[in-house]
């Protein structure tokens, strides 16, 4: 029996903070401004992401003169530009937005400060790279660009020099260049300006490449930091390949490869790495059982096709009915499932560049896209039809939430205004689920003003808001193109996790007080136990690497099934 194939993906792979910052800025501009948006050169060195931005009418120009519209927005990309060029474009009739990476700005200021003190700057980097061209402008004309120690040795004698690195430079090359600079400079300031994300990426690459039969480096062919990663891998691994897309992988790459390592450049989104991982597994035969492959693909279809989400909505409706003391109605359970399926399926069918188009997504939203949309519409119509049989109040409210949810992704007045509001997607999702899973059953059973109904609505809203926020965290960590309609993007990591923990404490306190007060004590105790899964999930997301999309969605929606199972007996 052949040795089992083992594939490892770099923990450091995915967008670096500077790239995320630049993309977030242009996405917010696109969402809030009616002006045409241009970037001065490609925003990042990744063709697939650039194409996604073009779909959102964010285009690249080589020079400001290429912009014909008046009062357009021009974005300075993450690499930065020389100060003279920046001053020139700010004098034009353009709105200039600076998306320079903060770590690149640190290098710019370092060079400016030393140049004012009379130091000559030595930049260890690629002479023609956009970042280096920008850095040179801060040196007041006294600057040398070198690619390593050999070029440093050729420099004329310098009285005072400051040696810096392009932020994505290889660490060993910079240190060797600094050592050589001590021989040509009377006074030398060594400024190791390689950014920490690059250091971590290179350290991990070195560690795993030494023990790998094959290293796959994913990233743009014009990306300097990706090229450096590939050079490191070529030196250390038995075999290394540099690809931009998963379809560049060939069966011959995997011949005799049992230990495979996948890494990527700073401008490669995690969802592209997931596609490469899926293709590598297919070609390398990591999974020995065809049955397991079929089961895994079937589960991806179930989750991607929103059926698991529909089941989660049914489970939450059951829990809310138990909280309200309402009789369990199959009509409401079915209505909630159809409602959730319809909206989630419809929204996924219109997503562009927001998620990895894996096999399941291609099947549902490329090959059978029209059928998927039709299924979403039919299920939505059935949910509205069922609501009509339960009273006009339920019908009107259900129709309102369904139409708002269906219109949300489109550039229509209502969807656009609400979509511009921070965390709007999470709030709207929570409101829709809270109505369908809790308010509607309570209204039908005995009135919306009952304390038990208000409690169930509050409980459902907070749980679904948490669910949506966790989805947002998962999407952001997969480098999907999302904006501040997600709470995580709008609030940032610290406030997001503080809010999630506060919700956990609040819901747990409510259930504990209900138990102590003797109000459905068995049910309150069961749901309180279920909150431990919520806590474990939150801690897992905070302390561990966020899993890929299918696993993350499964873990998140499973909380509702656990609560329903715990509520079954009381």
Catalytic residues: 131
d(CA 220, CA 234): 17
Q: What are phi and psi of 26, to 5 degrees?
A: -70, -30
Residue 123's DSSP bridge partners are: 145, 164
DSSP 403-437: HHHHHTTS-SHHHHHHHTSTTHHHHHHHHHHHIII
* Contact of 17 with 266, CB cutoff 8 Å: no
> What order do you get walking across the sheet with 185-191 strand by strand?
143-146, 120-124, 158-165, 185-191
List for the chain the helix, strand, coil content (%; round to 5): 60, 10, 30
Residue 458, C-beta contacts closer than 8 angstroms, at least 6 positions apart: none
Buried b (16+ CB within 10 A) or exposed e, 240-261: bbbbbebeebeeebbeebebbb
Adjacent-strand bridge partners of 162: 121, 189
- Is-contact 232 170, C-beta < 8 A? yes
| Alpha-carbon distances, residue 244 vs 132, 193, 221, 223 (angstroms) | 24, 27, 7, 10
Question: How is the beta sheet containing 73-76 ordered, strand by strand?
Answer: 58-61, 37-40, 73-76, 95-98
How far CA 230 is from CA of 207, 214, 236, 262, 279, in Å, comes to 14, 12, 10, 11, 19
Tokens of residue 510, six digits: 């409510």
Q: Which helix (H) or strand (E) element contains residue 240?
A: strand 240-243
Distance CA 470, CA 462 (A): 12
């Amino acid at each position: 029996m052949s040795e089992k194939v083992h594939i490892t993906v770099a923990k450091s792979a995915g967008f670096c903070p500077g790239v995320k910052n630049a993309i977030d800025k242009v996405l917010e501009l696109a969402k809030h401004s009616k002006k045409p948006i241009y970037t001065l050169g490609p925003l990042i060195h990744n063709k697939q992401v650039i194409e996604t931005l073009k779909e959102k009418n964010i285009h690249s120009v080589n020079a400001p003169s290429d912009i014909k519209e008046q009062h357009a927005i021009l974005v300075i990309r993450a690499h930065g530009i020389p100060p003279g060029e920046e001053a020139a474009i700010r004098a034009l009739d353009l709105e200039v937005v600076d998306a320079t990476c903060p770590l690149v700005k640190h290098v710019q200021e370092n060079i400016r400060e030393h140049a004012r003190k009379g130091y000559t700057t030595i930049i260890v980097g690629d002479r023609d790279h956009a970042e280096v061209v920008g850095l040179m402008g801060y040196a007041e004309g006294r600057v040398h660009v070198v690619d390593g120690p050999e070029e440093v040795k050729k420099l004329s004698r310098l009285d005072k020099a400051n040696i810096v690195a392009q932020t994505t430079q290889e660490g060993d090359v910079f240190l060797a260049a600094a050592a050589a600079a001590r021989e040509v400079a009377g006074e030398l300031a060594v400024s190791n300006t390689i950014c920490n994300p690059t250091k971590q990426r290179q350290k991990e690459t070195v560690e795993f490449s030494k023990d790998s039969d094959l290293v796959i480096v994913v990233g743009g062919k014009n990306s300097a930091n990706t090229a450096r990663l590939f050079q490191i891998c070529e030196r250390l691994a038995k075999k290394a390949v540099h690809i931009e897309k998963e379809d560049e992988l060939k069966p011959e790459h995997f011949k005799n490869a049992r230990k495979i390592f996948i890494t990527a450049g700073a401008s490669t989104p995690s969802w592209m790495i997931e596609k490469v991982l899926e293709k590598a597994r297919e070609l390398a035969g990591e999974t020995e059982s065809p049955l397991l492959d079929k089961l895994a693909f079937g589960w991806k279809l179930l989750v991607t096709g929103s059926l698991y989400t529909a089941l989660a909505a049914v489970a939450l409706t059951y829990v809310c009915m138990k909280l309200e003391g309402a009789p369990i109605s199959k009509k409401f359970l079915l209505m909630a499932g159809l409602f959730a399926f319809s909206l989630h399926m419809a929204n996924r069918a219109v997503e562009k560049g927001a998620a990895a188009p894996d096999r399941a997504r291609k099947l549902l939203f490329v090959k059978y896209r029209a059928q998927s949309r039709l299924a979403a519409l039919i299920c939505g119509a059935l949910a509205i039809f069922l609501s009509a049989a339960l009273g006009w109040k339920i019908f009107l409210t259900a129709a309102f939430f369904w139409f708002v949810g269906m219109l949300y992704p489109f550039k229509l007045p209502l969807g656009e205004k609400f979509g511009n509001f921070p965390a709007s997607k999470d709030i709207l999702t929570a409101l829709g689920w809270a109505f369908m899973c809790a308010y509607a059953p309570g209204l039908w059973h005995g009135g919306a003003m009952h304390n038990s109904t208000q409690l169930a609505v509050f409980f459902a809203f907070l749980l679904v808001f948490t669910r949506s926020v966790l989805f947002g965290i998962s999407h952001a960590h997969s480098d999907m193109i999302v904006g501040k309609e997600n709470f995580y993007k709008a609030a940032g990591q610290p406030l997001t996790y503080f809010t999630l923990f506060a919700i956990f404490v609040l819901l747990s306190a409510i259930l504990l007080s209900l138990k102590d007060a003797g109000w459905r004590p068995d049910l309150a105790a069961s749901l309180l136990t279920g909150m431990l899964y919520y806590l474990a999930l939150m801690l897992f997301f905070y302390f561990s690497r966020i899993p890929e999309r299918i696993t993350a969605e499964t873990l998140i929606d499973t909380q509702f099934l656990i609560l329903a199972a715990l509520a079954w007996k009381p």
